[in-house]
Structure 1
C-alpha cells in the first residue's frame, strides 16, 4: 500500500513481529531498522480478503454435506474428534487449514490423473495405444480426448484391472 493512501490520525491494522508488551498492554511492533519484520499495514476498515485454502475433495465433500447442520467450527471439531475416518484423520493433521476452509471458503485440490500407455501396442502408422474405458469394459485405442483414457488414483485402485496399473503414468489434464 502506498503512503498516499494513509492520512494522519487514521486508525490502521499492522501485521508484524511482536517484540514485547508494555505494562499498559500496548504491543511493541518492530518495523524499523535494517531488516523490518513488518508484513502489512491496512486501513482499519479495509482488510484484505482471506485467501482460500486448497483441500482434498473428500474433505470438501464432508464440509458440503455437513456445514448446514453444524453451526460452529467448534462443533465440527467436536464431531470429527468422536469418529475415525479419512476426514477426521486429515483434519487432525491439518487443523489450521480446515479452520480456514470452514471460515473463509476453499478450493478443491485437483486430483492427480493417470494415463496407461499399452507399451507393446503401436498402430501401423506409429501411434501409441492407451487403455480406454467405456461402460465398464476396457480396450486399446490411440489417444482420443473424447474417450475415457485418464483415471484418478481411486479409479485405478477400484476399476482398472491390476495387470495394467503398473504402467500408469501421471498426466496433466486441462
Structure 2
C-alpha cells in the first residue's frame, strides 16, 4: 500500500513539473503565424493576423515578394518520413502526412492531418487533432481529442481525459 502512495506522489509531481514546462515553453515561444512582413507600410499577407492600415494601396514593382501564408488554409507538406513538430497556443495547422512522425504539444491547437502518419504523438492540453490514418497514436497530457478516419492504429493513452477514437 505504501508503494502505491509513493508511485502516486511521484506521478503527481511529474505531471506538475511537466505541465509547468509545457506552459513555460508555450508562453515564451514565438509564433511565426502572428506576424506578416510589411513593405513600405503596406500590409504584407492580408491574413487574419495582419494589422489593417486603413487604406488601400498596391505594392510597387520593386517591393519584396510576400512570404508564404501560414494560415490554416495552407497545407504543410514535409518530406516523406520527416519528423514534424507543432507547438504553441491556439494555433491552426494543416499537414499532409506521408509516413511522417508528427508531434503536437501546447494548448488549444487545432491540427488537421491528411494522409498516413507512421506515428502521431499528442501532448499538452485541449488540443483537437484529426488524422486520416496512423500506425501508432500516443496521447498524453490533459483533455486532448484525437480522431482518426481509418485503420486500426496502436493506441497508447496516458494523462487525464484524453479521447482517441475513429470518426
Q: Scaled by the length of structure 2, what TM-score is found?
A: 0.19
In terms of fraction of residues, the more helix-rich structure is 1
In terms of fraction of residues, the more strand-rich structure is 2
Q: Which of 1 and 2 has higher RCO (CA within 8 Å, sep 6+)? A: 1
Q: Scaled by the length of structure 1, what TM-score is found?
A: 0.19
